[in-house]
Amino acid sequence: MVKGLYTAYTGMINEQHRMDVLTNNLANANTNGYKKEGATAQSFSDQLALKIKDYTDAPYTARGLGVITPGVKIGEGYVDWSEGPMRETGSTFDLAIGGYGFFGIDYTNKAVNIERELPGIQNIMYTRDGNFTLNSEGVLVTQDGDFVLSQDGGRIELDPNLPVEIAMNGNIIQDGEVVSTIGIFDFEKTTYPDGRITYNNLLHYGENMYIPIDGVTAQEGTGSVYAGFLEQSNVSVVDEMVNMIAVQRNYDTNQRMITTIDETLEIAVQQLGRLS
């Protein structure tokens, strides 16, 4: 009976975690380059209970009570790296990557937060969001003012008085000459039989930024650059809403199970256990 309470409780915790992931996806449905996240569930280890301090059976020795698997635990999170739809903007410095790769960003922390304790700390981060612009000095930056990296890892400085043409290989052309190249970077990935890929060496930061784990170096990406386009989020609002309804129903089912078991225990204590 008590195991039933625990099973329902762990089910509610798991569904709450899934709901958190779903709502985060919905909140970023309009975020450029955002990649949908998901959550898996796992069973607990087969043996969770031990019989201890039973002096009539193997004194001072813990003995397993058998194979029991009450409840579920939160599994691993994952990212859906499938390419999002492209939206045409017509802006020269709106860039999208077709295929594999990320833009490199020389990111500067703007304020104190949990992950970066002091403002002003710089990190090289990677993103699929190509919503760029030129600052007053003619340097290509993000909307937050962080520098976009060229293929050789430097800043991209342009003449703001000359027209700009960006080729699909990332070359930036002004006055008939290649003045820089948009950096397209990629990392080692795992490809599954169904064609899905995953990056095991990138950590999610913020809405659509990624940081390589220690010791991982970027390599040249194979994707193509499309000027005048932005990659949209790959979140399907309809699918996420359907999943949210299913999660809510699962949560309610576990909640009703706890209520039912509680009522049964109350009857056992107050009525069946009453002395005549």
Q: What tens digit of pLDDT does each residue of 227-240 get?
A: 999 999 999 999 99
Considering only residues 49 and 92, tell me which one the structure prediction assigns the higher pLDDT.
Answer: 92
**For residue 45, what pLDDT band results from cuts at 50, 70 and 90?**
low
Q: What is the mean pLDDT of residues 131-145?
A: 94
120 CB-contact burial (10 Å; exposed 0-12 / middle 13-18 / buried 19+) = exposed
Q: State residue 276's pLDDT score.
A: 53
Instruction: Pick the range with the lowest mean pLDDT from 180-184, 250-254, 263-267.
Output: 263-267
| Residue whose structure tokens are 């000095």 | 137
Q: State residue 66's pLDDT score.
A: 59
Considering only residues 142 and 122, tell me which one the structure prediction assigns the higher pLDDT.
Answer: 142
**Predicted TM-score (pTM) of this structure:** 0.81
Nearest residue to 51 via CA among 38, 68, 74 = 68
Q: What is the mean pLDDT of residues 246-255?
A: 94
Write the pLDDT tens digit of every residue in 210-226.
999 877 889 999 999 99
Residue 173 pLDDT > 90, yes or no?
yes
Q: State residue 268's pLDDT score.
A: 79
| pLDDT, averaged across the chain | 86
Residue 252 pLDDT > 90, yes or no?
yes
Q: State residue 7's pLDDT score.
A: 84
Instruction: Give yes or no for a contact between 9 and 71, defined as CB atoms under 8 angstroms apart.
Output: yes
Q: State residue 26's pLDDT score.
A: 96
